[in-house]
C-alpha cells in the first residue's frame, strides 16, 4: 500500500487512526497541496476528486475519503482491536456519530475556513461563498454545544470506546482552534474530552 499524505486535518485523521490502530511502517508520499499538485493530472489520475489523502492498494485500486480509508484499514489491520466496532450494534453507533459529527460540525467548520481565512488558497479550486464564512463557523460552534450536552459522563463519544468518531472530531477542532475557531470554554464536557484526546500519544501523529 501507499498512503498519499499532505498538510491539513483530513490526512492527519488517517495518521492518528493508524497510530491508534497499531498500523506502522506505511509507505507514504507527500503531496504538495499548497502548490496545487493534487489538482494536476498525475494525481487526478489516481484520485479524480483531487483531494488528499488517498490510499493506493497493491492491486492498483485507490481509495479516497477519510472514513473509507479508515474503515478499510480497520478491517485489514492487526487483529484484536477495532476503532469502528466489534459488533453490528457498535459499528452502527460509531457510524451514526461519525455522520453527525461530519455533517454538523466538521463540514461547516472546514468551509468556514475555506471561505474565510483560506479563501486565497481555495477560491480558484472550489466554489466559495465568502459571505457564509462567519455563519458556518457559528453553526459548527452551536453544534459543538449540542454535542457537549450529549457526552456528559462519557469518556469518549461512544461511551467507553475510543472510535473513529473521536479521532475525526479531535483532529478538526485541534486544527481549527488555531485558525480563529477556538473551543468554547463553557462546553466543559467537550473541553475535558479534548484534553483526554490531546494527551494520547497518537495526537502527535
Each residue of 4-24: pLDDT tens digit? 999 999 999 999 999 999 999
Closest residue by Cα to residue 162 from 75, 74, 65: 74
Flag whether pLDDT at 143 surpasses 90: yes
The pTM of the full predicted model, rounded to 2 decimals, is 0.95
Percent of the chain with pLDDT over 70: 100
Q: Residues 103-123: pLDDT tens digits?
A: 999 999 999 999 999 999 999
For residue 57, pLDDT beyond 90: yes
Give the right CATH number for 88-204 from 2.40.50.250, 3.40.140.10, 1.20.1050.10, 3.40.1400.10: 1.20.1050.10
3-state DSSP percent of the chain in helix, strand and coil, to 5: 55, 10, 35
Domain ranges for the chain: 2-76, 88-204
**Does the pLDDT value for residue 80 go beyond 90?**
no
The CATH class of the 2-76 domain is alpha beta
Digit-coded pLDDT (tens) for 174-186: 999 999 999 999 9
String of DSSP letters for 128-163: --GGGHHHHHHHHHHHHHHHHHHTTT-SBTBBTB--
Picking from 184, 181, 156, the residue whose alpha carbon sits closest to that of residue 168 is 156
Question: Dihedral through CA 48, CA 114, CA 150, CA 167, nearest 10?
Answer: 50
- For the cut 90, the answer to whether the pLDDT of residue 205 exceeds it is no
Average pLDDT on 30-55 reads 95
How many whole angstroms separate alpha carbon 182 and alpha carbon 125?
A: 26
Amino acid at each position: 500500500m501507499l498512503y498519499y499524505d499532505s498538510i491539513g486535518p483530513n490526512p492527519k485523521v488517517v495518521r492518528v487512526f493508524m497510530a491508534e490502530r497499531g498500523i506502522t511502517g506505511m509507505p507514504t508520499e507527500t503531496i504538495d497541496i499548497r502548490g496545487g499538485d493534487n489538482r494536476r493530472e498525475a494525481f487526478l489520475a489516481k484520485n479524480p476528486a483531487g483531494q488528499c489523502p488517498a490510499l493506493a492498494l497493491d492491486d492498483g485500486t485507490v481509495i479516497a475519503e477519510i472514513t473509507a480509508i479508515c474503515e478499510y484499514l480497520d478491517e485489514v489491520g492487526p487483529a484484536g482491536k477495532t476503532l469502528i466496532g466489534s459488533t453490528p450494534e457498535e459499528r452502527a453507533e460509531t457510524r451514526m456519530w461519525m455522520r453527525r459529527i461530519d455533517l454538523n460540525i466538521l463540514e461547516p467548520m472546514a468551509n468556514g475556513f475555506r471561505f474565510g481565512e483560506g479563501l486565497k488558497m481555495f477560491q480558484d479550486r472550489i466554489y466559495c461563498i465568502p459571505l457564509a464564512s462567519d455563519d458556518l463557523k457559528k453553526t459548527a460552534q452551536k453544534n459543538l454545544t449540542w454535542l457537549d450536552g450529549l457526552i456528559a459522563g462519557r469518556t469518549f463519544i461512544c461511551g467507553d470506546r475510543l472510535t473513529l468518531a473521536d479521532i475525526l472530531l479531535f483532529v478538526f477542532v485541534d486544527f481549527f482552534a488555531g485558525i480563529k475557531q477556538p473551543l468554547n470554554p463553557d462546553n466543559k464536557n467537550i473541553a475535558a474530552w479534548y484534553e483526554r484526546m490531546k494527551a494520547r500519544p497518537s495526537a502527535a501523529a
